[in-house]
Chain A
Amino acid sequence: MARTLYEKLWDEHVVASPDGEPTLLYIDLHLVHEVTSPQAFDGLRLNGRSVRRPDRTLATADHNVPTDPISTPVLDPISKRQLEALEENCQEFGITVFPRGHENQGIVHVIGPELGVTQPGMTIVCGDSHTSTHGAFGSLAFGIGTSEVEHVLATQTLPQQRAKTMAVTVNGRPPTGVSAKDIVLAIVAKLGTGGGAGYVIEYRGEAIEQLSMEGRMTVCNMSIEAGARAGLVAVDETTIEYLRGRAGVPSGNEFEELADRWRGYVSDPDAEFDAELVLDASQVVPYLTWGTNPAQVVALSGVVPSPDDFDDLDQREAVSRSLAYMDLTPGTPMREIPVDVVFLGSCTNSRIEDLRAGAHVARGHHVAANVRALVVPGSHRVKRQAEEEGLDQVFLDAGFEWREPGCSMCLGMNPDQLKAGQRSASTSNRNFEGRQGRGGRTHLVSPAVAVATALLGRFASPDEVNA
């Protein structure tokens, strides 16, 4: 019987499926960070339990690390305590950990792929909803809560209900200037914040196939913004070439044998999905969000919507609330809205390709007066590579801050925060109220639009920079 990729991944990881109980699924890789793990480790200690497979567990500091130079201390005592707790817990339970400043440290969803420990056919979990990122490699990857973190630490398994499958097919090629971020914003806008709930999404079609691994990660990353716990892309030669030579994979014949097995992680041609959404890539344009949830999307060339544009009474109320919080007037062209802060970073858009796209726009220009612009590479490896390519100097010359890696202003757990009333153009994934700092107003954009916006001081596309 023809199976979807999700069904193949599921079937391969069933440990037990007892009657009347959820299926017990094996977890191949458990990624851990400082924020959602301390209470789980406490739980283990309390019950005298150990970590079943430290060799399938990898930890890094990312969520609350300051992005100031590594030589400066962590000033927030609560953050400091949490970072120390991660190191102590990993030491006690025998888990490899990358603390702040370590050469392999970075955002958990950036380091897994770049170290080659994220591999096709795996089940991967992490106490973070953007774990969906790793699905770009044809692996089943999803976010879990702290109780489940403890469960995986203790048993290397999770009781799971099988999800429904949804194909999101993006046909054709996008116009020049349209990035993976624009494609996923278009998808989230179509599905809404709940449209993917209960589903695992497989992204497919020419527009997805022609994306780099970085682009596919950007798309899978935001699956959760449409309510889906996991996103998938089938394995192809792009996947295999990305992984070749990375630390976590073997070399030579052993790699070729592994790659042959990986090529099977695709949906069968006649496999059936429970739902499908079809998009035409040629109709995708540069987008940004205007409101307080990631489905509130508008074209960069568009205007702030009005509550009257919506039929549903509840939706009109929600739109009015969002407009009030965002301090926006319906009908205002998006391109006329000034910003205070620009953030290029996060697990959505902080990889080398994102930094290259941003630097390409920034080269030879300068950040507008009164705009603070931050570039936060996703990891030390990304940062080092960018520096080898001279991208740091391009950003510094253009007036951007070049910072140390971490989650940073995506969620404002470290000192990189918006002040109340400030408006940001951000390459991150969530524009929730207060997400980047209490009272802050977030607009989600692609790296190229973020940088163009920083240079012109208002929402702008790269082609306006040289005009």
Chain B
Amino acid sequence: MKAVQFIEGRAVPLERSDVDTDQIIPSDWLKRVERTGFGRGLFSEWRDDPEFVLNNQSYVGATILVAGPRFGTGSSREHAVWALMDFGFEAIIAPSFGDIFRNNASKQGLVIVQLDQVDVEELTQLIKESPSRLVIVDVEHLRVEVPETGWQRTFTLDAMTRERLLNGWDDIGLTMRREASITTYEQTSHAPSLAGVFDANGHVR
């Protein structure tokens, strides 16, 4: 995972609630075995509409997405995170998020910024008034700001997620430091395994 300390860029107002991961990346895209190239599928059903905000030229190149409550609910597909990042987004700001989406984002270095609904609405107004306004997401100081207007809010991340983002740490590598604990646990656990249940061809013995 790439480290991320500070994001400075333009922001797009999505102004929709309940944006589920089926909307972020439709299932047709999930057949691929690669991890890259999903940006073309991002919001693909909505992008056919010329009025859709991502088709608005003034927001091209934005790196921050501002959305309504319950962003990323539904399917566990990490492809939603890959699509947002492949398209160029580095942070998502919304009043609430789907739990699995939030986890997936943290594994990839997509910064999840949860703000109160009124703050998200204020920020939305600021970037609608002037789409060229720069927005800053500061992971180190857990702060969102619009320097041109002095608007500033703080947000929270659990300590570990913040550390991992700042350092670009690989989760699996971190867990492997606990190898001895895992082995000890396995020696005491009595949860049944699949050993002996199926033969080499997957038939029940």
Contact = CB atoms under 8 A, between A and B. Distances in A.
Interface string B182-205: 100110010111110110001110
B183 to A, nearest CB: 10
A115 B204 contact: yes
Interface in B71-85: 73-79, 81
A145 B81 contact: yes
B18 interface: yes
A430 interface: yes
Interface in A200-228: 224, 227
B201 to A, nearest CB: 8
Nearest to A44: B172
Contact of B171 (A55, A147, A435): A147
Interface stretch (B21-29, B54-62, B141-149): B21-29
Contacts of A248: 192, 194, 197
A16 B22 CA distance: 35
Contacts of A365: none
A144 B100 contact: yes
B111 to A, nearest CB: 15
Tell which of B34, B98, B99 has the most Cβ of chain A within 10 Å: B99
Interface stretch (A117-125, A353-361, A368-376): A117-125
Nearest to A318: B17
B133 interface: no
B77 A193 contact: no
Contacts of B27: 411-413, 435
Given A16-B181, A117-B197, A434-B45, A145 B104 contact: yes
B166 to A, nearest CB: 14
B77 A433 contact: no
Contact of B22 (A79, A157, A432): A432
A434 B41 CA distance: 14
A21 B79 CA distance: 26
Contacts of A129: 74-76, 100
Contact of A229 (B70, B100, B178): B100
B199 to A, nearest CB: 9
Given A76-B31, A432-B23, A148 B107 contact: yes
A56 B181 CA distance: 18
B33 A39 contact: yes
A145 B182 contact: no
B181 A15 contact: yes
Contact of B198 (A96, A198, A292, A413): A96
A57 B194 CA distance: 8
B191 A28 contact: yes
Contact of A438 (B17, B45, B158, B172): B45
Nearest to A97: B202
A98 interface: yes
B20 A432 contact: yes
A55 B195 contact: yes
B182 A146 contact: no
A364 interface: no
Contacts of A293: 18, 20
A406 B159 CA distance: 41
Given A97-B202, A433-B23, A147 B107 contact: yes
A217 B70 CA distance: 25
A174 to B, nearest CB: 27
A258 B194 CA distance: 15
A1 interface: no
B172 A47 contact: yes
B108 interface: yes
A63 B30 contact: yes
A270 to B, nearest CB: 27
A146 B108 CA distance: 10
A89 to B, nearest CB: 10
Contacts of B45: 433-434, 438
B182 A26 contact: yes
Interface in A140-165: 143-148, 150-151, 154-157, 159, 161
A81 B33 CA distance: 8
A247 B197 CA distance: 7
Contacts of B30: 35, 63-64, 413
Interface string A214-252: 000000000010010100000000000000000111000
A143 B100 contact: yes
Contacts of B68: 314
A189 interface: no
A49 B33 contact: no
Interface in B88-107: 96, 98-100, 103-104, 107
Interface in A230-286: 247-249, 258
Interface in A62-90: 63-64, 76, 78-79, 81-82, 85
B32 A78 contact: yes
A104 interface: yes
Tell which of B16, B103, B195, B204 has the most Cβ of chain A within 10 Å: B103
A247 B203 CA distance: 10
Nearest to A144: B76
A354 B104 CA distance: 33
Contacts of B189: 26, 28
A102 B202 contact: yes
27 contacts: A18-B178, A26-B189, A35-B31, A36-B76, A39-B35, A56-B194, A82-B31, A96-B202, A97-B202, A103-B203, A104-B203, A128-B76, A129-B75, A145-B103, A147-B108, A148-B103, A156-B182, A193-B70, A194-B70, A197-B96, A224-B74, A227-B99, A229-B99, A318-B17, A432-B23, A432-B74, A434-B23
Given A24-B181, A28-B191, A433-B23, 12 more contacts: A15-B178, A22-B160, A28-B189, A38-B33, A39-B33, A56-B193, A82-B32, A128-B76, A159-B160, A159-B175, A314-B17, A435-B27
Leading 8 A-B pairs by shortest Cβ distance: A145-B104, A147-B107, A145-B78, A38-B33, A143-B76, A146-B78, A28-B191, A129-B76
